[in-house]
Structure formats: C-alpha cells, structure tokens
Amino acid sequence: MKHLIDSTDLSVQEIDELMDLALDIIEHKDKYSEACKGKKLATLFYEPSTRTRLSFEAAMMELGGNVLGFSSADDSSVSKGESVADTVRVVGCYADVIAMRHPKEGAPMRASMVSPVPIINAGDGGHNHPTQTLTDLLTIRRERGAMKGFTIGLCGDLKFGRTVHSLIKALSRYEDIHYVLIAPNELRLPAYLIKEVFEDQGIPYEEVLTLEEAIPKLDLLYMTRVQRERFFNEADYVRLKDTYILDKKKLKSAKPDLSILHPLPRVNEISPEVDEDPRACYFRQAMNGKYVRMALILKLLGVTI
Ligand code: NCD
C-alpha cells in the first residue's frame, strides 16, 4: 500500500503518469464516472480548507464513490482528546482512502504508520502539501506545455508557505528551471530548504526583495498569501501582510506569456483587477486540483480503466 505524505514520495515518472491520467480524465470524463463505485474517501480536516477538501470530495463523487469525514477538529472526538493514530485506525475501518490536513507537521506521516488504508497528506503545518503540488504541476504543464526551460518566481511567505516548500522540492527534479525567490528578510525560504533543494543539488537560485526587479524575467509567477495562522505575533503579520501586491501596473513590465499562479485563498497579494488578464491562471489552477485528485485516488486505490 502506498501513501502520499511528501511531494517527493512520487518519482518523476509516477508524477508524469498521474498528469497523463488527469489529462485523460479531463478529455473523457464519462469513462471514469463509475470507476470508484462502492468506495469511500474520508476527509479528516483538523485545519480550515475550502479548495482542498471540497475538490477531494468532488473528485470522489465524480468517480462514482462516496465521501465522509469532518471539516473541523471540534466536530470529532479529537475534541475529547483522541490521538491522530487512534482516529485513523478507526476511520480506516470505514473508508478506503483518507485525506488528512493537520496543523502539526508530521501528523499525516504518523497516521500512515498505523493506517490500514492509504493516507494522503492534504497539508501539514508549514511543511508539505503534495496534492497542491500535483495541482501546480498539472497547471504548469497545461499552461506551458513542458516541465522545463522556464524561470519561476516564488513570491510572498516563503518561510511558512507549505505549497512553495512542496513545489520546489518536486520541481527541483526537473531540468533547466531557474528560480527567483521573492520575499522580505523575515519570510525567506528556510535555510534547510535552500540547502536541500538548491545547494546540495547544485541548482542555481536568486533571492530578491522586490517584485519589480524580478517580474521582467519571469515565465511563471507563483504568488502566496502571508500565513497569518503561523505567526507568533499579530504585529509582525500586520507589518508584513501587504509587502507584495500584484496589480496591473506591475504587470506592465512582465512577459506577454507570463503564467500567474496562486494556490488560493488570496488576501491582498493579487489585486482583483488582475483576474481578467489572460495571464491569470489561478482559477484554472483550482479546477485542475479536482482532476489531479481524481487521478491520485484512482492510483492509490489501484483502479484501472
Ligand atoms: C494553501 C494551503 O492550505 O497551504 N491553500 C490550498 O490548499 N489551496 C495555501 C494557503 O492557505 O495560503
């Protein structure tokens, strides 16, 4: 049995196969409409979510399966003090696959050690978010056609943003990609990731402080929200939250075929006036999330069509 805990749990070949399957699902939706008949997905969300939980549930429904679960720890026996391990042992008796989001780094990994069914990490603290990475990779492939030969700017909260952590780990295994890290000093990418992802693998990267200096050279811009819930004090959040705001004016110096991605939810970091620009891919990206999750559920349940 296989779990998905970290974005590097899948080899590049496995990721490419998942992308191919997601593209086939997009082309031939009807073919898959009963693929998971009689199967159940449990969503155990100990932290807020809109896209991830609902796209997992929509994915299972579109495969003809059923869903159960909770969307807040307060709604479950967690509020009585039950451990993640016990909850998963029990839910594993009711469901065939479990998607779990948890504020503590490593909780889905712990769950995978005792679970009788596959565990999918739907985000653990500031650590990893592998299904968002699959969503991002499918979006890059659909928008740009190939997984190489581009410069990507990652902008915003690179310290706490788990989507960025997951994405760069997965992307670093593809060749000929250039990285520009755009963050204020307080929200720089953690040193362990700079070492593991770039330095140890000999991959060049740049760090800059402003969006203006980065934007002209980018093919892809991955914007992120400042992660308020991971700050130790509100004053720091308030000071940093509007460091970067992408608007029409800043886009004047961008390439005509730039792709703007954002895992969402957005707060202020992309002005709504950008939404109508054809370079804004973030709502298409959210749609891709459902299709990669359909592909992932099929793979983990060993369903072939
Ligand atoms: C992200 C997350 O939960 O890490 N949201 C998502 O799953 N699309 C990004 C965020 O919350 O900023």
CA distance 161 to 157: 6
What does residue 139 show for φ and ψ, rounded to 5 degrees?
-65, -45
230 is catalytic: no
Please check whether residue 269 is in contact with residue 156, taking contact to mean a CB–CB distance below 8 angstroms.
yes
Nearest CA to 137 out of 285, 279, 298 is that of 285
- From the CA of 52, how far away is ligand 1's center (Å)? 8
- From the CA of 48, how far away is ligand 1's center (Å)? 9
Please check whether residue 33 is in contact with residue 63, taking contact to mean a CB–CB distance below 8 angstroms.
yes
Give yes or no: residues 137 and 267 share one domain.
yes
Please check whether residue 179 is in contact with residue 154, taking contact to mean a CB–CB distance below 8 angstroms.
yes
Query: How many structural domains is the chain composed of?
Result: 2
* From 3, 51, 141, 165, the catalytic residue: 51
Residue 209: C-alpha distances to residues 180, 212, 216, 268 (Å):
10, 9, 14, 18
Residue from 43, 51, 52 whose mutation best tests the ligand 1 pocket (most atoms within 8 A of CB): 52
Give yes or no: residues 50 and 180 share one domain.
no
* From 43, 52, 131, 243, the catalytic residue: 52
Residue from 264, 283, 285 whose mutation best tests the ligand 1 pocket (most atoms within 8 A of CB): 264
Give yes or no: residues 165 and 25 share one domain.
no
188 is catalytic: no
241 is catalytic: no
Look at residue 221 and give its three-state secondary structure: strand
Please check whether residue 145 is in contact with residue 171, taking contact to mean a CB–CB distance below 8 angstroms.
no
CA distance 216 to 201: 26
Give yes or no: residues 224 and 247 share one domain.
yes
The radius of gyration of the chain's CA atoms, rounded to the nearest angstrom, is 19
- From the CA of 38, how far away is ligand 1's center (Å)? 30
Whether residue 238 lies inside any domain: the answer is yes
Give yes or no: residues 157 and 254 share one domain.
yes
| CA 7 distance to own-chain centroid | 9
266 is catalytic: no
Residue from 71, 128, 163 whose mutation best tests the ligand 1 pocket (most atoms within 8 A of CB): 163
Cα first-last separation, the chain: 19
Residue 158 belongs to domain spanning: 131-285
Give yes or no: residues 265 and 166 share one domain.
yes
Give yes or no: residues 112 and 168 share one domain.
no
Whether residue 268 lies inside any domain: the answer is yes
Whether residue 1 lies inside any domain: the answer is no
| pLDDT tens per residue across all 305 residues of the chain | 699 999 999 999 999 999 999 999 999 999 999 999 999 999 999 999 999 999 999 999 999 999 999 998 887 777 788 999 999 999 999 999 999 999 999 999 999 999 999 999 999 999 999 999 999 999 999 999 999 999 999 999 999 999 999 999 999 999 999 999 999 999 999 999 999 999 999 999 999 999 999 999 999 999 999 999 999 899 999 999 999 999 999 999 999 999 999 999 999 999 999 999 999 999 999 999 999 999 999 999 999 98
CA distance 76 to 91: 12
**Minimal-distance CA residue to ligand 1 atom 1:** 263
- From the CA of 135, how far away is ligand 1's center (Å)? 12
Give yes or no: residues 77 and 206 share one domain.
no
Give yes or no: residues 50 and 37 share one domain.
yes
Q: At 204, which CATH number?
A: 3.40.50.1370
Q: H-helix or E-strand containing 21?
A: helix 12-27
Whether residue 178 lies inside any domain: the answer is yes
CA dihedral 230, 231, 232, 237 (to 10 degrees): -160
Give yes or no: residues 253 and 293 share one domain.
no
